[in-house]
Amino acid sequence: MSIFERYLSLWVGLSIVAGVALGQMLPGIFGLLAQLEFAKVNLVIAVLIWAMIYPMMIGVDLSTMGDVLKRPKGLIITILVNWLIKPFTMAALGVLFFKHLFAGLIPPADADAYIAGLILLGAAPCTAMVFVWSQLTKGDANFTLAQVSVNDAIMVFAYAPIVALLLGVTDIVVPWETLILSVGLYVVAPLLAGAITRTVINAKANPEKIARFSERLKPFSIVALLGTVALLFGFQGKVILENPLAIALISAPLLVQSYGIFAIAFIAALLWRVPFNIAAPCALIGTSNFFELAVAVAISLFGLESGAALATVVGVLVEVPVMLSLVAIANKSKRYFP
């Protein structure tokens, strides 16, 4: 690893500080960039995420996608964890922290709102950034694409009923524009670009050339990651500085949930003898969240200034540092897997 990659956590930390500082120093520019969105998907962030996803999509060989179904263990784990465990543990942790552990620190109305925001996050497994985390663990590109596709398909039918059940409301409306645009931007478009690249390079005849090309793109992916972090914290710098206690309180159950869900999936993969290049992305997808969807639903249900919307935003801020730590944990555990 290069020095740049080895100290990635340090650069991320500096990007967080720089993002908050620049957001306060240049509020007009960050405000303008924040407005460049469609269906709650920020287009600047989308370009940066696309830059991170594209290198992994070059590694997807569509002709061998059927082989993923011959090794179904990873898909079974991710489906069970993401849809039968994760939403319910997130709701339980929200109640535990905000109704009991933090009961004296926040008003009851805020507690209910924060719990609602956590539920919206917990019921939405990642569609985009999981490709980045998978790439950082050298995960199987075909499997990662397959698991994202399966989870997106399930999300279409299961997200609204699960959220309605846990929130106790019946008028959950899935923001289809956000869902469809995100899948198109983060899955379909980079997949097509990767397939075209493989064709141009003639991947079947030159597999080493594909590997070298992907390696040359890695620095751009890391820079895009740092840019994403800086922008996310720049957009929310005012919220962070004005509500530090709320940010800290909301982060607590999110941290417990993130490390707990990762542990459940990762240990299940270890006990079931799942190969590491499948076990890592299968555990990471449940820990990472589809935050654009969660934010859009929170705003539509509870309003832009609601505690629920704030909780989903905190989920965005917590995700990158936490996921990088889990990537590091996964890579250090590689020797225990087949």
Tens digit of each residue's pLDDT (9 = 90 or more) over 293-327: 998 888 888 887 799 999 998 998 898 899 999 99
Q: What is the pLDDT of residues 160-198, one digit of tens each?
A: 999 999 988 656 667 888 888 888 889 889 989 988 988
Residue 5 has pLDDT above 80, yes or no: no
pLDDT score of 269: 97
Choose the weakest-confidence range: 33-37, 55-59, 189-193.
Answer: 55-59
Structure confidence by residue, pLDDT tens digits, 201-211: 876 667 788 87
Residue 172's pLDDT is 65
Name the pTM for this structure: 0.88
91 pLDDT more than 90: yes
Name the band, by pLDDT with cuts 50, 70 and 90, for residue 259: very high
Whole-number pLDDT of residue 122: 94
Read off the pLDDT of each residue in 263-290 and give the average, rounded to a whole number: 95
CATH architecture group of domain 3-336: Up-down Bundle (1.20)
pLDDT confidence bin for 127, thresholds 50/70/90: confident
DSSP H/E element including 38: strand 37-38
HSE of 167 in the Cβ direction (CA atoms, 13 Å)?
A: 26
Q: What per-residue confidence (pLDDT) applies to 143?
A: 94
Q: What is the DSSP letter of 37?
A: E
Percentage with pLDDT > 70 across the chain = 96
- Hunting for tokens 């960039």 — which residue is that? 33
3-state DSSP call for residue 43?
A: helix
Per-residue model confidence (pLDDT) at position 1:
60
Angle at 12 between CA 114 and CA 215, to 5 degrees: 125
Cα separations (Å) of 220 from 129, 133, 200, 210, 214? 15, 15, 21, 16, 10
Q: What mean pLDDT is reported for the chain?
A: 89
pLDDT for position 69: 78
Q: Is 195 exposed, middle or buried (0-12, 13-18, 19+ CB in 10 A)?
A: middle
Where along the chain do its domains lie?
3-336
Rg (Cα) of the chain, in Å, rounded?
19
pLDDT digits (tens, 9 = 90+) for 100-118: 999 989 888 899 999 999 9
